[in-house]
């Protein structure tokens, strides 16, 4: 019996599958067992054609392929090469039990790339492994650390190299971006600002809040009249976000691969801006037989922007609470349960009332008190409690002028990022767990006194207190201060929801 390793996707993670093959005396046949999906059952014809096209003669025996363990559902055309090699190498005394094999076969024996191979390799790379993969995908796969890759272009080449022992490992490729090295780790970023904060006139408080939000990956809500620059600020935030570690770049690419999107390796963090008419399934993922990631999962490690926040459905807004708080999203279906990581920065924009003129000094608000109350009540307290920064923006004035460029703001974000990493933080300030807040967000005596008075005067919840500490920590980092002072806490309190 020949045994070769392969894998299948179970949600966002890989499950190792052993491809076993046996030749037994019986009527000639070819069967695949082990809860194989339709794409694997179709592999019988692809594998048979590829083997015959490459001078392999099928013996008059019963060929049985078993995909173990049998209780796991398996799918994907990437099993083709493993199945074909388990048959072609049946008489060879070669041990491939420590090598994974991935690739779809053409009818002529050509080895083709598939969308599932990248997320599979990324999940398996948590430990050092060896893998035979399609040569056409090497440029993409060679960026994954911890994997020894062998590229093959055809079934014949794969068989000959395995038999002769002449498999040559592909070189690991480095990302061609600027890096900052902190505590022995490289973090990648790029200085590219296709849209610039210099285009935003005035709004100094909002730009300051945007800088704080970017430096710590804090959630932020911008409120103001139509045309005051809410969306302008939100869309420019993406280009000043903190650098990414290689593992984060690969994790973000993995989510795109799971959704069937084109994979790219860029330190520019993901950005998604769904329309308020989007369905819950498109936002959070779903599917009856196989759950697919939605916008919230695809924006992992990036920035999710909800424009016109109160116009999103009540169910969608309430469902957003779990991924914001727990940084994970569980999709439960009858046939499957899938969990996706959802650590992202949430940015929202809204008008102060349905007509948008409530805060205007030049236009009259046409809304009744009841309409304004209904509009505000679409956002629940538990959801708003998960947003750290609230900014009420003023109207644009003819006297407003540009004041700061994205490059200058990005430089400050990089400095604050370096301080956070040198402290030993695995997460940025906005994503610190409750147990980490006391360790990293240390206040001096004056700051403690200010916070205690704020708790007494404003009846702050524990989550609000934690949010203020995290925002204060980021403000102190922007000031290059290791200890959180009174001024930092006071500024953090100024962004508290009234």
Say yes or no: 316 and 441 in one domain: no
The overall pTM is greater than 0.85:
yes
Q: Is 324 contained in some domain? A: yes
pLDDT value at position 471? 98
Residue 385 CB partners (closer than 8 Å, separation 6+): 461, 463, 464
How many structural domains compose the chain? 3
Say yes or no: 122 and 191 in one domain: no
**Mean pLDDT confidence for 15-19:** 95
Say yes or no: 305 and 189 in one domain: yes
Q: Is residue 222 pLDDT above 90, yes or no?
A: yes
* Boundary-marking domain end, from 133, 164, 195: 164
> What CATH number does residue 451 fall under?
1.10.8.60
Say yes or no: 403 and 438 in one domain: no
Q: In whole angstroms, give the CA distance from residue 164 to residue 17.
A: 26
Say yes or no: 189 and 241 in one domain: yes
**Mean pLDDT confidence for 309-316:** 95
Q: Is residue 334 pLDDT above 80, yes or no?
A: no
* Residue 172 DSSP SS3: coil
Say yes or no: 133 and 206 in one domain: no
Q: Where are the beta strands (DSSP E) in 211-309?
A: 220-223, 244-245, 271-272, 303-306
pLDDT value at position 69? 94
> What CATH number does residue 151 fall under?
3.30.230.10
* Boundary-marking domain end, from 164, 198, 228: 164
Which of 135-144, 168-177, 277-286, 383-392 has the lowest average pLDDT?
168-177
Q: Is 423 contained in some domain? A: no
Confidence band for 290, pLDDT divided at 50, 70 and 90 = low
Q: Is residue 292 pLDDT above 70, yes or no?
A: yes
**Residue-wise pLDDT tens digits, 424-461:** 999 999 999 999 999 999 999 999 999 999 999 999 99
Expressed as residue numbers, the domain containing 469 is 432-498
Say yes or no: 436 and 407 in one domain: no
Q: Is 48 contained in some domain? A: yes
Q: Is 175 contained in some domain? A: no
**Mean pLDDT confidence for 279-305:** 87
CB 339 within 8 A of CB 11: yes
Confidence band for 354, pLDDT divided at 50, 70 and 90 = very high
Q: In whole angstroms, give the CA distance from residue 168 to residue 153.
A: 13
Q: In whole angstroms, give the CA distance from residue 278 to residue 274.
A: 7
pLDDT value at position 289? 61
Confidence band for 2, pLDDT divided at 50, 70 and 90 = confident
**Mean pLDDT confidence for 248-277:** 90
Higher pLDDT, 360 or 414: 414
Average pLDDT over the chain, rounded to an integer:
92
Say yes or no: 18 and 98 in one domain: yes
Q: Is 170 contained in some domain? A: no
Nearest to 441 by CA among 390, 493, 416, 477: 477
Q: Is 427 contained in some domain? A: no
**Mean pLDDT confidence for 25-52:** 93
Say yes or no: 254 and 368 in one domain: yes
Say yes or no: 242 and 335 in one domain: yes
pLDDT value at position 498? 79
Confidence band for 277, pLDDT divided at 50, 70 and 90 = very high
> Residue 192 is encoded by which pair of tokens?
């590219």
Q: Is residue 174 pLDDT above 90, yes or no?
A: no
pLDDT value at position 259? 84
* Boundary-marking domain end, from 132, 164, 196: 164
pLDDT value at position 288? 61
pLDDT value at position 469? 97
**Mean pLDDT confidence for 66-77:** 92
Nearest to 475 by CA among 456, 495, 446: 495
Say yes or no: 376 and 454 in one domain: no
Q: Is residue 257 pLDDT above 90, yes or no?
A: no
Q: Which helix (H) or strand (E) holds 101?
A: strand 99-101
Q: Is 476 contained in some domain? A: yes
Q: Residue 317's beta-bridge partner residues?
A: none
Q: Is 173 contained in some domain? A: no
Q: How many CA atoms lie within 13 A of 64 on its CB side?
A: 12
> What CATH number does residue 256 fall under?
3.40.50.300
Say yes or no: 223 and 325 in one domain: yes
């Amino acid at each position: 019996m020949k045994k070769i390793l392969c894998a299948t996707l179970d949600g966002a993670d890989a499950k190792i599958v052993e491809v076993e093959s046996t030749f037994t005396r019986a009527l000639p046949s070819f069967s695949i067992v082990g809860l194989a999906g339709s794409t694997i059952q179709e592999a019988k014809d692809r594998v048979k054609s590829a083997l015959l096209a490459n001078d392999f003669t099928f013996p008059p025996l019963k060929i049985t392929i078993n995909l173990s363990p049998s209780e796991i559902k398996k799918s994907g055309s990437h099993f083709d090469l493993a199945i074909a090699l388990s048959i072609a190498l049946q008489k060879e005394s070669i041990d491939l039990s420590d090598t994974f094999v991935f690739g779809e076969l053409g009818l002529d024996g050509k080895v083709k790339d598939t969308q599932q191979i990248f997320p599979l390799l990324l999940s398996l790379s948590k430990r050092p492994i060896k893998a035979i993969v399609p040569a056409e995908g090497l440029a993409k796969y060679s960026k994954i650390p911890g994997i020894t890759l062998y590229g093959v272009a055809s079934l014949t080449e794969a068989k000959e190299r395995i038999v002769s022992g002449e498999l040559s490992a592909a070189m690991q490729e480095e990302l061609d971006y600027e890096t900052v090295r902190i505590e022995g780790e490289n973090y990648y970023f790029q200085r590219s600002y296709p849209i610039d904060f210099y285009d935003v006139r005035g709004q100094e408080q909002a730009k300051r809040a945007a800088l704080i939000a970017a430096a710590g990956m804090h959630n932020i809500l911008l409120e103001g009249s139509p045309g005051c620059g809410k969306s302008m600020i939100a869309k420019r935030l993406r280009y000043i976000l903190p650098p990414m570690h290689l593992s984060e770049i690969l994790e973000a690419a993995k989510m795109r691969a799971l959704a069937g999107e084109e994979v790219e390796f860029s330190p520019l963090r993901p950005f998604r801006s769904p329309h308020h008419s989007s369905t819950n399934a498109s936002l959070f993922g779903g599917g009856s037989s196989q759950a697919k990631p939605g916008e919230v999962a695809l924006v992992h490690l990036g920035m999710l922007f909800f424009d016109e926040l109160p116009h999103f459905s009540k169910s969608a807004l309430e469902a957003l609470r779990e991924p914001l708080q727990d940084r994970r999203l569980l999709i439960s279906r009858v046939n499957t349960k899938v969990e996706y990581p959802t650590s992202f920065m949430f940015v929202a924009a809204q008008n102060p009332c349905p007509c948008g003129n409530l805060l205007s000094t030049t236009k009259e608000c046409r809304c009744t008190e009841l309409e304004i109350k209904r509009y505000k009540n679409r956002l629940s307290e538990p959801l708003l409690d998960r947003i750290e920064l609230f900014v009420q923006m003023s109207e644009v004035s003819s006297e407003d002028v540009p004041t700061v460029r994205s490059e200058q703001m990005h430089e400050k974000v990089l400095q604050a990022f370096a301080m956070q990493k040198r402290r030993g933080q695995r997460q940025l300030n906005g994503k610190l767990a409750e147990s980490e807040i006391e360790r990293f967000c240390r206040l001096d005596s004056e700051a403690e006194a200010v916070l205690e008075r704020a708790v007494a005067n404003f009846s702050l919840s524990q989550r609000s207190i934690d949010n203020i500490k995290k925002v204060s920590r980021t403000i102190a980092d922007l000031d290059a201060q290791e200890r959180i002072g009174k001024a930092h806490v006071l500024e953090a309190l100024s962004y508290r929801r009234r």
